[in-house]
Amino acid sequence: MKNDVIVVGGGVVGLATATRLAERGRRVRIWSRDDLLGTTSAVAGALWWPYRIEPAAEVGSWALASLRVYEQMAVDPERSGVRRVSGVHAGTVLDGLGPWAEEVEGLRQLAPDEVPGPYGTGLAARLPLIDMPVHLSFLRGRFEALGGTFERREVAGLEEAAAEAPVVVDCTGLAARELVPDPGLRPVRGQLVLVENPGIEEWFTAADESAGETTYYFPHEDRLVLGGTAEEDDERLAPDPATAAAIVARCARVRPEIAGARILGHRVGLRPARAGGVRIEAVPLPGGGRLVHNYGHGGAGVTVAWGCAERAAELATG
């Protein structure tokens, strides 16, 4: 039993962390309240980019470590769900980014006349864009091929896992608000619209982190993901029709053909934002056990998943 680890939480952060632990020779079980498509990760637009996440001093290294993993996965996009796709971050300037931006190949400032839509500034980049339903299934298969076990199990407290394994890793996202408990966690609601792709091949984003609205579209072969919102302390999981219409209208101002695209569905997820940023910390348990927290990734769980997983695995096995 001394090599046993239970990772609580089956989203992208939990799967990445469990995989890194299994690679270190640990016998790992994931306890997930939801199936893969029921996790917050499954709703993510999932373009690699550090967005709405702290602490700034750590985010760059976590994001770059994850970028290298996604670049490797993009060699086999059909299996992994990861493709490198070109696009534009409007309203963004290189000087406003951290040192991590220097390590992103091909990132460049655009001239004003190169930026789509009603925006005067922007960056061009070719970044990993991830089809999350495909990707989560891929990660689970990779984890299970290492001998890991994925179990559907809801817990009322982390002590349930601690009773069955000497090391527990908490990747519960917003649920850590009650399970830890951590009152610093707060939901940031994100709503998306899925439409038929009218032939768009490049992604686009325009995000104002101080506002509750964003504008983006992410192209996949069978659909276009439109967004979005960033509504703090809003826990509504039902799609709002007026919000959906506004999302389509904002995206159509950049690409008019989006206005006539057939709507395929709607998605809502609650980003797990946390005062003080991501928490990656080891806490001793009675009897010599160890609890490692890895939550609070806000709107960038996909972007930093592998960097945070490596750090959490070090704390769990060190």
Domains and CATH numbers, the chain: 4-317 (3.40.50.720)
Tell me: is residue 298 an annotated ligand-binding position: yes
pLDDT for res 318: 86
Mean pLDDT of the chain: 96
> Where residue 286 falls among pLDDT bands split at 50, 70, 90?
confident
Tell me: is residue 27 an annotated ligand-binding position: no
Q: What is the average pLDDT across 308-315?
A: 98
Comparing 96 with 283, the larger pLDDT belongs to 283
The rounded percent of the chain whose pLDDT value lies above 70 is: 98
Tell me: is residue 69 an annotated ligand-binding position: no
pLDDT for res 307: 98
pLDDT at 25 over 70: yes
Least confident of 69-73, 209-213, 272-276: 209-213
Tell me: is residue 301 an annotated ligand-binding position: yes
The model carries a pTM of: 0.96
pLDDT at 209 over 80: no
Q: What is the average pLDDT across 213-237?
A: 95
φ and ψ at residue 12, rounded to 5 degrees: -65, -35
d(CA 143, CA 313) in angstroms, rounded, equals 14
d(CA 162, CA 113) in angstroms, rounded, equals 57
Separation of CA 154 from chain center: 21
d(CA 71, CA 94) in angstroms, rounded, equals 22
pLDDT for res 287: 85
pLDDT at 48 over 80: yes
Tell me: is residue 216 an annotated ligand-binding position: yes
pLDDT at 211 over 90: no
Q: What is the average pLDDT across 52-75?
A: 96
Tell me: is residue 303 an annotated ligand-binding position: yes
pLDDT for res 123: 97
Tell me: is residue 271 an annotated ligand-binding position: yes
d(CA 8, CA 4) in angstroms, rounded, equals 13
Tell me: is residue 299 an annotated ligand-binding position: yes
pLDDT for res 255: 97
Tell me: is residue 9 an annotated ligand-binding position: no
Q: What is the average pLDDT across 105-118?
A: 95
Tell me: is residue 188 an annotated ligand-binding position: no
pLDDT at 210 over 70: no
Separation of CA 196 from chain center: 23
pLDDT at 161 over 90: yes
pLDDT at 221 over 90: no
